[in-house]
Amino acid sequence: MSEREVVCEDLNAAIDEIKRAGFRLDLIYPADDPHTAVLTKGGDAVRVTCRPEAEPPSEALPPFRPEFVLTRAAPSAAEGRAGMLYRDLIPGRLGERYIASHISIPAGGPVADWVHFHRIALQLIYVRRGWVRLVYEDQGAPFVMHEGDFVLQPPEIRHRVLESSPGLEVVELGAPAVHSTFADHDLELPNGRDLDRSFSGQRFLHHKADETAWTAFRGGEAQESALAEASGRLADLRTVRSAAAETIDFQPHDGELVFGFVLDGAATLDYRGDRELGPADAFVIPPGEAWRLMPSSADFRLLHVATAVLD
C-alpha cells in the first residue's frame, strides 16, 4: 500500500476533504485532542496531520513517573474525537503512562461515532452527569449508563457511542496516555452475546450504581465494584461519600496510580498540607503515601481509582 502525508492546520476539515475523495478513516490519535489520522482507499493511504513532528503511539507502556497532581475545575479545553469536549485531568501524564479526561457533550442527542477499538492496557469510563447509550462487542443489545455507572473497556473490544442526554459528563481514565483509535469497518454492532469472553485477560464490566449498596469505608461509605476481578487485578474503583464522617483515611498504595475526582460537594485534602477541593477538581497521590479527606459538605462524593503495577 502506498502512503502519502498531508500536513494541515485543521485536522477535521482535512479529514472531511479527503473523505469526499472516497477515502475512509482507519485510525486517529490521540482521542482527547486529535492531531493525526490515516485514511485509505483501495491500495492508497493518506496520513494527515497538523503535528508532523509528533511521534506515533508506542506499542510499549512508557515508564511510570509518579508525582502529586492537583487539577482545578475549568471549562473543557479541546474538541476531541467524535465532537466530544475534553478537559485534561493529569496534564503531566505521569511520564505518558496515564491519561484522565473530564469529557462532556453539552447538546446531547446522536453521537457522530463509529465502531472502533483502542490499543490500550486499561480504560475506564464513569458517568458523572446525565446518561449515555452505547453498544459493545459480544455484550448484547445497546444499553444506557446512568450517573454513577461505569464500564471497563478491555483492550481492543469493539464499541460505539450512540447517543447521550444533554449535559452528559463522564470521566475517562486510560493507559497509556497516547494511544490510537482504530475503525472497524466490517463489524456491525450488536453482534451477539459472549459475556465471559476474555480480552487480553480482561472482561467487559458494566457497573450499575442503582444496584450497588453503600458500605462502610474508612470512616465514610463507598459503593464498591467488581473491577479488580474483571481487570485481572489491574485496577480498583469505588464511589466514596462522607456519610457524616469527619475524616476518610487512605493508607499508602503499593501499586501505581491513585486518582481522585470530586463528583459533588467539598472537602479538604490532607496530603503534605491542606488543600480545599470542590466539584470537578481532580488529584493524583504518589504511591506509598498516606492521605486523607475531611468532607466539609454533606453531599461530598468522590470517584476513587487505584491501579496495580501495569507491567
Find the angle CA(233)-CA(235)-CA(241) to the nearest 5 degrees. 130
CATH topology identical between 2-49 and 78-201: no
Q: Which CATH class is domain 210-307?
A: mainly beta
- Confidence tier at 146 by pLDDT (50, 70, 90): very high
All three cell numbers of 174? 486510560
**8 A C-beta contact, residue 155 and residue 103:** no
pLDDT of residue 79 exceeding 80 = no
Helix or strand holding residue 36 (H, E): strand 36-41
Cα(39)–Cα(88) distance, rounded to whole angstroms?
A: 27
- Domain spans in the chain, listed from the N-terminal domain onward: 2-49, 78-201, 210-307
pLDDT of residue 202 exceeding 70 = yes
pLDDT of residue 242 exceeding 70 = yes
SS3 of residue 95 by DSSP: helix
* 78-201: CATH architecture: Sandwich (2.60)
Residues with Cβ within 8 Å of residue 182, at least 6 apart in sequence: 26, 27, 116, 117, 118, 119
pLDDT higher at 1 or 37: 37
pTM equals: 0.95
Which residues on neighbouring strands pair with residue 105, listed in sequence order? 168
Which residues on neighbouring strands pair with residue 261, listed in sequence order? 282, 303
Quick one: DSSP state of residue 210?
G
Average pLDDT over residues 155-171: 97
**8 A C-beta contact, residue 255 and residue 306:** yes
The pLDDT tens digits of the residues spanning 9-67 come to: 999 999 999 999 999 999 999 988 899 999 999 999 999 999 999 989 988 899 999 99
pLDDT of residue 147 exceeding 70 = yes
Long-range contacts of range 212-220, CB-CB < 8 Å, 24 or more positions apart?
A: 214/241, 214/243, 217/248, 218/248, 218/249, 218/250, 219/245, 219/246, 219/247, 219/248, 219/249, 220/245, 220/248, 220/293, 220/295
Quick one: DSSP state of residue 68?
-
CA 10 to chain centre: 25
Question: Which residue has cell 469526499?
Answer: 20
Q: Which CATH class is domain 2-49?
A: alpha beta
